[in-house]
Amino acid sequence: MRNGVQRIRDYFIFFLLYSITGWCYEVFLEVVVYHWGFSDCGVLMGPYCIIYGFGALVFLFFFRNMIHKRDGILPAWLKPLIIGVGCMLIATVIELAASYIMEIAVGSWPWQTYVQYRYNFQGRIALSTSLRFGLGGLVYLYLLQPLFEKLIRRWEGKRFNFGAGLLATVFGCDVLLTLGQWLF
């Protein structure tokens, strides 16, 4: 059983891994799929979209037990459907809340407006992106999370603790520098 400090460290590493994965996904969409060219889609200086990291952690907290629970109540196909819809709803609420928070903090939100999408709300959220977030949540929870957990177990030890501390320091400096730019 992992102690509290190990769990916090692990969740921080998951947060960074998902934030970086989200950044890569957004860059891939902009450069390869939509051919818009590269733009830094994160609000911080480093290559991460923290909204993806935050969303993935919320998915973990909400659905980890449901994924691992082996009960005969739900048919096998229904559990991923429920989790996918749950991820879709959670991610949509997070994206909507983040758009308001960012607009208050810096005057706009850092992702494109969704006004050109058929079903959107104030250009802040859209049905098609919400559906992708639901599918992405399933990929996170069923494919990436088991991989990330194996990696963390393999790296366990003093070097991993040092590396996690170093990453936390770099990330903390990035947050402070970005806040400094916003405030001054």
DSSP state of 40: -
Per-range mean pLDDT, top range of 3-7, 20-24, 30-34, 103-107: 20-24
Q: What is the pLDDT of residue 40?
A: 66
Taking 90 as the threshold, does the pLDDT of residue 139 lie above it?
A: yes
CA angle 32, 34, 37 (to 5 degrees): 70
* Domain positions in the chain: 4-183
Q: What is the pLDDT of residue 110?
A: 67
Taking 90 as the threshold, does the pLDDT of residue 82 lie above it?
A: yes
In this prediction the pTM is 0.83
171 touches 16 (CB < 8 A): yes
Q: How far apart are CA 122 and CA 125, in angstroms?
A: 7
Q: What is the pLDDT of residue 77?
A: 82
Q: What is the pLDDT of residue 144?
A: 94
Taking 90 as the threshold, does the pLDDT of residue 62 lie above it?
A: yes
Per-residue pLDDT band at 54 (split at 50, 70, 90): very high
